[in-house]
């Protein structure tokens, strides 16, 4: 792996100052970014080594992954690497944004964009060169041409694939009658022409990458999890309170937008009006307090572009109505307000008082809105309108309506209010996370930040947040890709199906109230080792004095007991040691279960054998009929672990290996838990 001899070379020193001056990244935060970049680079293929290594930089949504990319490139250049390829979105705004940042931040690099690459512009030998291309088959071929002409085939190369789970994967993987998708083939061709390269994938939503086949050129060999910098507000901030939304400082529960009513009434719903008023008042308070930015609002209506157009018209109509009433008495706007609008504005002001400190008076805020509300732009964003998110908004208020055209990686500058009025029938975890535009470095704007959405969508964000944290924790602990994605809602998908091999990725569901046990428990002493003795100590009568009695324990204790090999790999049935542990860990991390479960010692000297009905090859059951539907009085609202110690006697029919061993039965509380598993 790559040797790092220099952590404070010219490239790192210059980048530290650039990120501090241009992006307000503190020196302490940069040191954390540098640590992450070091963990990435030390796992890359070293100069002089042939072969390839695949790595994943696992970031957070809107957390500044580009800073990690830039720091990794700068650190690599300071340690002798000169050849870089950066692949980014084929959307012009995102491509231009990425190219601009690389050119601005890496002073000693030669940076070639699409034009220079296409024209085969000559590079100065001996200096770091970054080829920045979009993920487009023609642009990838242009890169391959310049790579071949520059003789990079025999030099170490670092390829960075930004948002690698999008566009890079083979969308025809399950259709043998179609060729590999063009972008995927272009990336494969480029890599196949390099004798020594590291392929670094970056994304905040790696579900599709982690579920690639073990032999896939796109499944990472290592994973480095990033940490967001100071002031980041993401899932841990907005959705770490589970389903206690009524006490949230920022989440407001609203019904889904009734699209038929919207189309027939020609009036936006009252909840949308309320969200707009909170936006205007919040922006006014921030300006009065000295934060003179240009603020934005985002309304997701539906997936139909016709609805976007109607919603944009109605929003603009209400904005005009609000402007007219406020402007009637500019120095005392309240005098020109209808009683209904005055009440709505007062309610919005009362809402903001919950999160602001030293709020200006209601009349003062209205005067500020009246002064600035004319500087408002309503923009419909979809492919029909051709409009997208502006890199630098020009008006004091920008209201974006739609949202289907917002590309990955695009930051909605100074976003205060997000309104989700739509729903996906088959939600995908990675897509929902990528829509979390309210995440980011918004500490100064947090008092005015609001998220309006239906309760089931709020719960979906909570469940995805829990799942994402579980994946991060496991990757962070091992620096390795995991093979299982926990999904906290049945019906949730980890990613789009057309990039996953249907022969190796399955969905396993554990049902609430149902019991699971290993159909063929491990009984071979060569495999068991000291497991029985260790479990004897954990489950001793000193800890659990009575048989068939339910003892309340922490879920951490249940996981400690489950942290052994119980099931024989490859046997049928839903039991999978690792999957069961992940499912129980997912329950532990939900507030509703309060890290609480129960343990029951069922039997310490069981004669249980393999079942005759299963040809003496597997267990038919573990608990006896007298255990009851809810065995031994365990609390049905919490997970329960029921442990049985078998004698393990040798027998020609259904016997074991002659040594005692333990068999677990896990009972799940009410609810459904699904997991996507990469079986390759």
The domain spans of the chain are 10-232, 257-422, 504-678
Average pLDDT, the chain: 90
Q: What's the burial of 398, exposed, middle or buried (CB within 10 Å: 0-12/13-18/19+)?
A: buried
pLDDT, mean of residues 468-472: 89
Per-residue confidence (pLDDT) for residue 40, from 0 to 100: 98
pTM (2 decimals)? 0.85
Per-residue confidence (pLDDT) for residue 660, from 0 to 100: 97
Per-residue confidence (pLDDT) for residue 502, from 0 to 100: 87
Are 169 and 161 in contact by the 8 Å Cβ rule? The answer is no
CATH number, span 10-232: 3.40.50.300
- When pLDDT is cut at 50, 70 and 90, the band that residue 241 belongs to is low
pLDDT digits (tens, 9 = 90+) for 258-287: 777 777 777 888 999 999 999 999 999 999
- When pLDDT is cut at 50, 70 and 90, the band that residue 405 belongs to is low
Per-residue confidence (pLDDT) for residue 264, from 0 to 100: 76
- When pLDDT is cut at 50, 70 and 90, the band that residue 385 belongs to is very low
pLDDT digits (tens, 9 = 90+) for 501-552: 988 887 677 878 889 999 999 999 999 999 999 999 999 999 999 999 999 9
d(Cα 53, Cα 609) in Å, to the nearest integer? 48
Residue found by looking up tokens 């512009």 in the block: 121
pLDDT at 444 over 60: yes
More confident residue, 477 or 261: 477
The token duo for 345 is 């504005």
pLDDT at 384 over 70: no
pLDDT, mean of residues 148-164: 94
d(Cα 188, Cα 44) in Å, to the nearest integer? 18
Are 614 and 620 in contact by the 8 Å Cβ rule? The answer is yes
Neighbouring C-beta atoms of residue 643, cutoff 10 Å: 21
The strand order across the sheet containing 640-646 reads: 515-516, 661-667, 640-646, 596-606, 551-554
- When pLDDT is cut at 50, 70 and 90, the band that residue 302 belongs to is low
Q: Find, among 419, 93, 445, the residue nearest to 293 by Cα.
A: 445
Per-residue confidence (pLDDT) for residue 680, from 0 to 100: 65
pLDDT, mean of residues 86-93: 90
Which element (helix H / strand E) includes 132?
strand 129-134
Instruction: Give residues with Cβ within 8 angstroms of 513, minimum separation 6.
Output: 636, 667, 668, 669, 670
d(Cα 256, Cα 546) in Å, to the nearest integer? 52
Are 381 and 369 in contact by the 8 Å Cβ rule? The answer is no
d(Cα 67, Cα 24) in Å, to the nearest integer? 12
d(Cα 620, Cα 611) in Å, to the nearest integer? 5
pLDDT at 186 over 90: yes
Q: Find, among 39, 17, 119, 58, the residue nearest to 471 by Cα.
A: 58
pLDDT digits (tens, 9 = 90+) for 313-351: 889 999 999 999 999 988 899 999 999 999 999 999 999
């Amino acid at each position: 792996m790559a040797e790092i001899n220099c952590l404070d070379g010219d490239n790192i020193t210059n980048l530290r100052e650039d990120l501090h001056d241009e992006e307000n990244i503190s020196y302490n935060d940069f040191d954390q970014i540098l640590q992450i970049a070091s963990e990435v680079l030390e796992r890359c293929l070293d100069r002089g080594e042939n072969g390839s290594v695949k790595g994943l930089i696992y970031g957070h949504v809107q957390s500044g992954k580009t800073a990690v990319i830039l720091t990794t490139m700068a650190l690599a250049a300071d340690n002798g690497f000169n050849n870089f390829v950066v692949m980014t979105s084929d959307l012009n705004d995102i491509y231009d944004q990425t190219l601009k940042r690389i050119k601005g931040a890496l002073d000693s690099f030669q940076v070639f964009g699409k034009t220079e690459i296409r024209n085969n512009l000559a590079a100065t030998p001996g200096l770091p060169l970054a080829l920045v291309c979009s993920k487009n088959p023609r642009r990838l071929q242009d890169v391959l041409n310049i790579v071949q002409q520059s003789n990079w085939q025999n030099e170490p190369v670092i390829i960075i694939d930004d948002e690698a789970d999008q566009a890079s994967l083979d969308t025809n993987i399950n259709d043998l009658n179609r060729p590999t998708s063009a972008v995927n083939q272009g990336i494969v061709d480029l890599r196949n022409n390099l004798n020594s390269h590291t392929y670094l994938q970056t994304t905040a939503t790696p579900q599709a990458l982690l579920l690639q086949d073990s032999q896939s050129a796109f499944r990472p060999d290592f994973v480095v999890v990033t940490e967001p910098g100071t002031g980041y507000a993401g899932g841990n901030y907005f959705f770490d309170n589970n389903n206690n939304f009524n006490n949230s400082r920022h989440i407001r529960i609203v019904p889904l937008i009734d699209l038929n009513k919207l189309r027939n009434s020609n009036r936006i719903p009252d909840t949308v009006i309320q969200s707009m008023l909170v936006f205007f008042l919040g922006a006014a308070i921030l300006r009065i307090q000295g934060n003179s930015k240009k603020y934005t609002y985002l309304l997701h209506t539906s997936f139909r572009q016709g609805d976007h157009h109607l919603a944009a018209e109605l929003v603009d109509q209400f904005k005009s109505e609000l402007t007219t009433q406020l402007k009637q008495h500019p120095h005392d706007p309240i005098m020109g307000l209808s009683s209904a609008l005055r009440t709505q504005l007062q309610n919005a002001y009362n809402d903001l008082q919950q999160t602001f400190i030293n709020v200006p008076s209601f009349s003062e805020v209205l005067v500020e809105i009246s002064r600035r509300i004319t500087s408002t732009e309503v923009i419909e964003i979809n492919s029909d309108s051709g409009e997208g998110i502006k890199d630098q908004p020009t008006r004091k208020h920008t209201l974006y309506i739609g949202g289907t055209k917002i590309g990955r990686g695009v930051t909605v500058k100074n976003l205060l209010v997000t309104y989700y009025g739509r729903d996906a029938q088959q939600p995908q975890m990675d897509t929902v996370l990528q829509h979390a535009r309210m995440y980011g470095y918004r500490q100064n704007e947090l008092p005015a930040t609001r998220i309006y959405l239906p309760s089931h969508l709020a719960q979906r964000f909570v469940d995805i947040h829990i799942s994402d944290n579980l994946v991060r924790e496991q990757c962070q602990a091992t620096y390795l890709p995991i093979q299982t994605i926990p999904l906290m809602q049945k019906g949730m998908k980890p990613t789009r199906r057309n990039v996953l091999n249907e022969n190796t990725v399955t969905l396993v569901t554990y049902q609430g109230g149902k019991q699971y046990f290993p159909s063929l428990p491990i009984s071979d002493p060569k495999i068991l080792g000291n497991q029985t003795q260790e479990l004897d100590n954990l489950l001793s009568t000193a800890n659990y004095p009575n048989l068939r009695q339910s003892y309340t324990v922490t879920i951490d204790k249940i996981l400690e007991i489950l942290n052994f090999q119980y099931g024989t790999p490859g046997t049928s049935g839903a039991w999978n040691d690792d999957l069961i542990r992940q499912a129980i860990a997912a329950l532990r991390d939900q507030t509703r279960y309060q890290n609480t479960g129960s343990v029951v010692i069922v039997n310490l000297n069981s004669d249980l054998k393999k079942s005759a009905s299963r040809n003496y090859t597997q267990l038919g059951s573990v608990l006896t009929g007298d255990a009851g539907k809810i065995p031994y009085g365990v609390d049905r609202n919490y997970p329960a672990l029921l442990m049985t110690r078998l004698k393990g006697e040798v027998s020609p029919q259904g016997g074991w290996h002659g040594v005692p061993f333990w068999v677990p039965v896990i009972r799940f509380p009410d609810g459904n838990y699904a997991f996507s598993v990469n079986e390759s």
